[in-house]
Structure 1
Amino acid sequence: MARTVERWIRDRISVGRSAIINQRRLTVDRLAAAMRTVVDDPQLRDNAHRLSADIAAEDGGAQAVTAVESRLHHTT
């Protein structure tokens, strides 16, 4: 499951639908700057709307619930 999520994130970044934040160098100021960029950049904002539509079409919420429930049933 983790690989699927990582691959999905990499795919979105590769088509310009996300910003990249280096977690090792993350500070409050860098996070705030990245958030301003995402909000203020028209292309990223448009990409976020498209990504939202993609997620809704994939029914990602239901898939996440199924994955969590599956894990819970295997650990009990």
Structure 2
Amino acid sequence: MRTTLTLDPDVAKMIETIRRERGATLRDVVNDALRRGLTQTKPARRNAFATRTVSLGRPSLPNVDDVADVLDEVEDGAQR
């Protein structure tokens, strides 16, 4: 596969140094580096996310399934 690749200056310098030391082509050095990096890279293992539970005490309202009832109860309590 033919593609254009833009290298950061520090990476280009490292590749050029390795290329000269080995007497290899740019293609061979880049392919070797990519093969090594891709086979050694494993996805980072994530720890399971967990939340702590805390007691909030007894609810002040017995049932909060009906919003209208809750609003009536709260409004009545505010007027007392």
Given the two structures, how large is their TM-score scaled by the length of structure 2?
A: 0.23
Q: Which has more helix, going by share of residues? A: 1
Which structure has the bigger radius of gyration? Answer: 2
Higher relative contact order (CA 8 A, sep 6+): 1
Given the two structures, how large is their TM-score scaled by the length of structure 1?
A: 0.24
